[in-house]
A and B are shown apart, each in its own frame.
Chain A
Amino acid sequence: MYRHFRMILMLAMFVFAASAFAEVQCDVTYNSKAYSDAQYNFCWLSGSVCYQCYDVQTADSCSSEYTPCNPYPRRFDKNVVATLFPEEKPASPCVAAAFEQKQAQLRIDNLL
């Protein structure tokens, strides 16, 4: 009885711990730099390697140079680096590349 209870408790703890880790996706733009203000963040301009990372479930995101950043605490809204307008017109080749990468990932996600 106690052994069963311990197994159930461990399983519950595992499920709880697994649910705390969100799926984080990062887009990389080369020769670009990170920018943030109180409302949004993105990669732009030149001079570095910029990572745009976001929680796939919530679309919470942050951008950071050199190292992918922790997407917590919660930011404001969906923030995808290469989506510019409803027509999704890319601003530059590097942003376009990130955009294509993201679109491909989304297609894979949809297929799965």
Chain B
Amino acid sequence: VTLHSLRCLAGALLTTGAIACAVAPAAPEVTREPASIIDRVIPIDLATDVRWDDDAHVIVTDRRRGPARVAVADADAQPEWWNDWPAATEPGSHYMHLAISPVYAVAADTAFGLRWREQRPNAAVAQDIFEYIADVDARNDQLLITGLRRNAGGVLGADESTAWIGTLRGQELTLRPLLPFRQMRAIENCAGFGLAAVRFLPNGGFVIAPGAEPGVYVYDAHQRLQRTWDTKALGVEVDCNLTREQSALLATDVDARQAWLNRRRIIDDVIAVGDVPYLVVRAHDGAATRWELIELRGERHTIHPLPFVSTSSSAHVSADARGGRIAFLVHDRAAGREGAAATRLVILPWPPH
């Protein structure tokens, strides 16, 4: 019996971290989970993403209505909608991903389009096209984006890249490829599954988790690759080399896709606590959906089971860290269908006391 398994057993008896321990890879340290300070339902039905706005508010996107400012502590306060952002109508205009910097706000659909706007009154909303957007982040006027892109001639993946960095200045995106894909087909097979995440670090570096392909990549502020984490060693499953039949089914059958995701440990999001990246890893055990943070510090990783669960099998989490707290948006991908769980905002102190 190892120290790790004893810690897991204790954690399982005392906490909600049983499943995380049961499937965790060997050697990581499992810490005591933090106490929740806020866990409440928020009135945003089709919530998709979250970012801190200031110490008392977060911005949450509703995929149809757009971004809304939500008071963290005041449960009675209503969301303040950003009315200058147009409501979604067709593919390309939904608000699936959000990124906020002091200078710019960015919102992207999964397919075809993204929008951005300077953070000043009466600034115009610019927009551009992008075939597949798996995630975005912003730092000052910089944009970090992952997915697949067509070139001017309409060729998909012509630059053989699945992640780019560029500037939000101007009306059109100017992007530089960062990370090549291994097999474009794997990225296409899992497009729209929500497996990828990108995030800037406060020091100007950034993290890319392609999701559909192995590895978590950490870059410095000079856009040089500093470290690659093996997703297998982190206990994250990556297998998007699907058959043609699997690919067609999972792309069009929402329930089959969710069932496929529920059989795997996947990355729901990546956050930065200080300059340390954390993966938000999701697992479903048949009865509940649980999450853990995997801290990627130096040469080692540490697993922190999170103290909240969802009984919905289609619940996923988006997250953001600021000033010693992490905001988790627990949202249901089946939102709009009967039986979907309500959107929750969970605020945890971090690191845990």
Interface residues of chain A, those whose CB is within 8 Å of chain B, are: 33-42, 44-48, 63-65, 76-81, 83-86, 89, 91-94
Contacts and interface: CB of A to CB of B under 8 A. Distances in A.
30 contacts: A33-B251, A36-B252, A36-B253, A37-B333, A38-B333, A38-B335, A38-B336, A39-B63, A39-B336, A40-B94, A42-B91, A44-B112, A44-B191, A48-B248, A63-B252, A65-B248, A65-B252, A81-B91, A83-B89, A84-B90, A84-B91, A84-B92, A84-B93, A84-B113, A84-B129, A85-B127, A91-B131, A91-B150, A92-B154, A94-B154
Interface residues of B, number: 38
Contact of B254 (A37, A48, A91): A37
Contact of B90 (A35, A44, A78, A89): A78
Given A37-B333, A38-B254, A47 B188 contact: yes
Given A37-B333, A38-B254, A38-B336, A89 B129 contact: yes
Contact of A33 (B150, B188, B333): B188
Contact of B91 (A40, A47, A65): A40
B61 to A, nearest CB: 13
Given A33-B251, A37-B192, A45-B156, 20 more contacts: A34-B252, A35-B251, A38-B336, A38-B337, A44-B111, A44-B112, A44-B191, A47-B188, A47-B247, A65-B248, A76-B336, A79-B90, A84-B90, A84-B91, A84-B93, A84-B113, A84-B129, A85-B127, A92-B131, A94-B154
B326 interface: no
Interface in B5-45: none
B191 A35 contact: yes
A35 B111 contact: yes
A35 B192 contact: yes
Contacts of B132: 44-45
B334 interface: yes
B90 A83 contact: yes
A38 B253 CA distance: 9
Nearest to B155: A92
B72 interface: no
B201 interface: no
Interface of B: 46, 63-64, 86, 89-94, 111-113, 127, 129, 131-132, 148, 150, 153-154, 156, 185, 188, 191-192, 244, 247-248, 251-254, 333-337
A91 B112 CA distance: 6
A48 B156 CA distance: 14
Nearest to B115: A85
Contacts of A42: 91, 111-112
A39 B253 CA distance: 12
Contacts of B153: 93
A12 B111 CA distance: 46
Contact of A84 (B112, B150, B334): B112
- Determine the main DSSP class of A at the interface with B: loop
Contacts of A63: 252
Contacts of B154: 92-94
A86 to B, nearest CB: 8
A78 B254 contact: no
Nearest to A80: B90
B44 to A, nearest CB: 14
Nearest to A47: B188
A57 B22 CA distance: 53
A106 to B, nearest CB: 15
Contacts of A65: 248, 252
Contacts of A40: 90-91, 94
B188 A46 contact: yes
Contacts of A33: 188, 247-248, 251
B261 to A, nearest CB: 12
Given A35-B191, A91-B129, A92-B131, A85 B92 contact: yes
B128 to A, nearest CB: 9
Q: 10 tightest A-B contacts by CB?
A: A84-B92, A42-B91, A92-B154, A93-B154, A45-B188, A36-B252, A83-B90, A35-B251, A91-B129, A34-B252
A44 B127 CA distance: 19
A92 B146 CA distance: 19
Contacts of B64: 39
